[in-house]
Structure 1
Amino acid sequence: MHLLPLMFGILLLPEASTLRCYECIPGASGTCTQTIKECPQGQQCTAKRVVTYTGGSKDDDENTKECAMAEECGEYSINYGFYQIIINNKCCTSELCNTQPAPEPSKSTPNGKQCYYCDERTCTNTVNCDGIEDYCFSVTGQSGTMKGCVSNQSCTAEDQSWTCCEGNFCNAASSFSASLVLLAAPLLSLLVISY
């Protein structure tokens, strides 16, 4: 007897609506065609800007539009000493709201925090952290160790192989031998998380 009203209730429930957002992810040519995408339940629209610096000079600036989880929104940064990635992920929650590109992330001045970073010979180099980079990090993979400064949001977004700490030089130095190939895993991890 109670089964019939339950079945009608389930059948007549309004379908959960999904948010539609603009999507524009540049291909190899650097350009993209903007399309409309239905985001998975619980995601927001975002306009994202990723700026990379090598030796303090900007060397890449990429804009995308897509869907993102709320925890991916905001500005965050990873500083490997000689290489830095700053991301501004501007999110919104209304239909097709990500029309404008995200503003360029702020390249800030040193904030007084200092961490160790690694080069091809050692992990005893020191880097002055910028702006929102309020933690030191260390990540060790199959190829070796990387260290540097990181914002809190980047630290919590990374997988469990990342170790983050708050004090100056808390990512204790150790010697190591590596190459720029070591950047591939952390950078790929960041890009996968941010897309």
Structure 2
Amino acid sequence: MKLVTIALTCALFSKAYPLDCFECIPTGIGSCSQMTKTCPASETKCASVTVAVTTGGKQIPVKMKSCTTPDQCISGSLNSGIFMTTINTQCCDSNLCNNQEPPALPESSTNGKKCFTCAASGDCTSTLECKGSEDRCFMVTVPAVGKVKGCASQSFCSGSLNTQLGAIVDENCCEGNLCNNALRIGQSILFLLLVPLASFVLFN
């Protein structure tokens, strides 16, 4: 009986310890310098993230590592027609387990859904065929860029991610073909990271 009590006590005590994760926050395109971080109690996962922006046939990946919460362990894609942004997140729950670098998600085939897209001229009447898990249409207003429309995975609209590269963005997601006119549906922190990142790659 004493052994059982000791084992249960040790298990509970071990769970009280905060998690240690590798942290790697990029300051630009490419890899970043890695260090260790003791996570706050609310962040129970270690994450390795690869965000990749593809435009003009060229793919540019950005690697990140950090402590995170389970709802931030997401993957998916966002496609404006001019650029495509994918995110591939791998999460784990032991100390310093996020030492891997997940690959960028491969490009998927079209899935039959269509959304409005905006040309460089600002015209937003063209349509775009969505790919893979992109089951939502989106519209964002990016400072100094204007409106961006296209297809997005549901995880981009309902998930969340630390906004180390954040900016002020007004974002809308909706379901149904060609639903991304001007209707405000919902907001996601993900766009605070991914749309400015795509815009940076596109215009620099």
- TM-score bracket for the superposition, by shorter chain length: 0.7 to 0.9
> Greater shift after overlay, 25-34 or 82-91?
25-34
| Aligned counterpart, 1:190 | 193
Residues 55-94 of structure 1 mapped to structure 2, 5 A cutoff: 55=56, 57-94=57-94
In 1, the alpha carbon distance for the partners of 2:90 and 2:63 equals 11
| Aligned counterpart, 1:111 | 111
- Greater Rg by CA: 1
In 1, the alpha carbon distance for the partners of 2:32 and 2:81 equals 32
CA-CA distance at 1:191 after TM superposition: 4.5
TM-score by length of 1: 0.73
| Aligned counterpart, 2:201 | none
CA-CA distance at 1:162 after TM superposition: 2.4
**SS class of match (2:66):** strand
**SS class of match (2:75):** strand
**SS class of match (2:78):** strand
Residues 92-103 of structure 1 mapped to structure 2, 5 A cutoff: 92-103=92-103
Q: CA RMSD in A?
A: 3.0
| Aligned counterpart, 1:123 | 124
Q: Is the 8 A contact 2:29 2:61 kept in 1?
A: no
| Aligned counterpart, 1:170 | 179
Residues 121-160 of structure 1 mapped to structure 2, 5 A cutoff: 121-140=122-141, 144-157=146-159
In 1, the alpha carbon distance for the partners of 2:28 and 2:157 equals 29
CA shift in 2, pair 1:124/1:78, >3 Å: same
Q: Is the 8 A contact 1:51 1:58 kept in 2?
A: no
In 1, the alpha carbon distance for the partners of 2:180 and 2:31 equals 39
Q: Is the 8 A contact 2:140 2:149 kept in 1?
A: yes
In 2, the alpha carbon distance for the partners of 1:142 and 1:98 equals 34
Q: Among all aligned residue pairs of Structure 1 and Structure 2, give the percentage whose two residues are the same amino acid.
A: 41
Unmatched tracts of structure 2, length 5 or more: 1-12, 161-167, 183-188, 198-204
CA-CA distance at 1:110 after TM superposition: 1.1
